Amino acid sequence: MPVMTKAPNGDEIVILARKEYDELIAAAAVEDAADIATASRLMARISSGEEKLLTSAEMDELLAAKSPLAFYRKRAGLTQAALAQRADLAQGYVSEIEAGRKSGDIQTMRKIAYVLGVQIDDLVVADAPVCSRAKRKAAQ
């Protein structure tokens, strides 16, 4: 069982049993190995051209864009109409997804990502609010 105390200089310190310490070190080693494997896979994807990096200016543009979809569409040099045509979607639907009024189902987002040459995750905002039909009606 850990013992919490203070060092003479006032720093908080924890005293662990050797077994607990060894378990923490082993868990950290496993986590480090997983991180190294993930980084290695990513570096291979970058080297092969399968994964593309954004420049600092592009990142600023992405953060300033009304949505990731708008950024990646413009980066690909496509209009909403051209993207819609290539993804076999209605232009109005693409516009609504881009503006955040609709989220797009997984099949739709897969089509869009394929046309833009990005991963679906690149198009999704993780903390975007879910707007239900009831909430939209109440807001009108």
Record the tokens describing residue 24, joined without a space: 């923490």
Give the domain CATH number at 99.
1.10.260.40
Shared domain check, 39 and 67: no
Average pLDDT over residues 113-132: 79
140 domain residue, yes or no: no
- One-letter-per-residue 3-state SS of 62-95: HHHCCCHHHHHHHHCCCCHHHHHHHHCCCHHHHH
Tell whether 83 and 104 lie within a shared domain. Answer: yes
Residues 118 and 61 in one domain: yes
85 and 110 co-located in one domain = yes
Token look-up 């986590």 returns 31
Same domain, 19 and 61: no
Quote the pLDDT of residue 128.
53
Task: Using alpha carbons only, give the angle 16, 17, 21 rounded to the nearest 5 degrees.
Answer: 70
Domain region containing 40: 3-48
Residues 47-76 pLDDT 10s: 998 888 889 999 999 999 999 999 999 999
- Whether 130 and 75 map to the same domain: the answer is yes
